[in-house]
Amino acid sequence: MTKSFGSDNHSGTHPAVMRAVMDANTDDAVAYGADPWTERATAELRRLSAAEGGVYLVLNGSGANVLGLGLLLGRHEAVICAESAHINTDECGAAERILGTKLLTVPAPGGKLTPELIAGRLSGRGDEHFAQPGVVAITQSTEVGTCYSLAELRKVHDFCADNGLRVFMDGARLANAAAHLGCTLAELAEHADVLSFGGTKNGAMGVEAVIVMRPADAANARFLRKQHMQLSSKMRFLAAQFLALLDGDLWLRNAGHANAMAARLAAGLAGMPGVEVVYPVESDAVFARLDPRHVAQLRREWTFHVWDEATSVVRWMTAFDTRESDVDDFLAGIAAATGARPA
Ligand SMILES: Cc1ncc(COP(=O)(O)O)c(C=O)c1O
């Protein structure tokens, strides 16, 4: 198969992660997280994020979102999120079904919420006939590959704090944001009450961390993780994956590489007739508009998603293992499909 540009989920597992899982496969270990690997991984994640509440490893990103939101939501409360938020578009209504909450969605240019956009969703506050906004969910990096700057995050967080709202950050691609912004995990985490930190899209086989910033919000985390079926019995294999990603900052190097490959793709597209990049390229995704006939032609050989059929926008994603030559071959394919001359 030619390299997929469909998703960072399409890539395999980083060899160091695979090795760490193999190395953890020795003797017996106590189950459900009472093992030395989990103790080390969660302690290190706690240190890196400066979280005082706790760190809870889970199996997937949707589970991380349900658990994270569940820790912050009251029974009558709703979640304000961007229309494009993964919790709204791609999780089969899990938050609504499992938490019984309501998503108050906002059209958000570039996938980002602002205090103004959030304020526009607060009108029913105090009226018992309306689901009460309790949590604001943001995604970093966003579903359209953009990143909130630290100043933008601060504005959202300050507004929420001033208005009695809690912040949940979906960090399935938090590593890509850290690499793009050149900041630490703690600098991102301080703008959320609870966040997820993804490993799966960044070289792991399947593990995410739910990071709880303050102890009061962590009181029920262990119980809710179990109820949401996110407590892995053989937790050491999840923890071993994170330990490999944290070792020598592999998580940051993987994300930085994926970002660089997306930037290389975007640079190659610049000035290519018939291809319009529609969002700033700030992580591992390039969104582009091209003629539907050219999309169809390109999809004969290459794997990627059509993001929006109506506007003929596609999503091209890179990953930790995308090579420069993969990008260059893909660029040549795009040039051939669109009739452009390769640079
Ligand atoms: C922003 C974001 N959040 C959460 C998820 C959910 O992850 P999973 O598919 O592991 O449930 C994804 C997956 O693509 C995602 O892109």
Q: Is 226 exposed, middle or buried (0-12, 13-18, 19+ CB in 10 A)?
A: exposed
- Report residue 272: phi and psi, to 5°: -80, 120
| Both tokens assigned to 303 | 């794997």
Give the Cα separation of 308 and 230 in Å (integer): 32
Give the Cα separation of 208 and 242 in Å (integer): 8
For the domain spanning 15-248, the CATH number is 3.40.640.10
Candidate of 57, 60, 62, 284 to mutate for ligand 1, largest count of ligand atoms within 8 Å of Cβ? 62
For the domain spanning 250-336, the CATH number is 3.90.1150.10
User: Residue 113: what pLDDT?
Assistant: 98
Q: Order the strands of the 305-308 sheet from edge to edge.
A: 276-277, 285-289, 313-317, 305-308
The 10s digit of each residue's pLDDT in 171-212 is: 999 999 999 999 999 999 999 999 999 999 999 999 999 999
- Distance from the first to the final alpha carbon of the chain: 25
Asked whether 135 and 69 are in contact (CB, 8 A), the reply is yes
The owner of tokens 């939101």 is 69
- The predicted model scores a pTM of 0.97
User: Residue 271: what pLDDT?
Assistant: 86
Average pLDDT, the chain: 97
Q: Whose CA is nearest to atom 5 of ligand 1?
A: 61
Q: Whose CA is nearest to atom 7 of ligand 1?
A: 61
* HSE-CB of 115 using CA atoms within 13 angstroms: 14
List every span in the chain annotated with CATH 3.90.1150.10: 250-336
List every span in the chain annotated with CATH 3.40.640.10: 15-248
User: Ligand 1: distance of its center to the CA of 11 in Å?
Assistant: 14
Model confidence at 343: pLDDT above 70: no
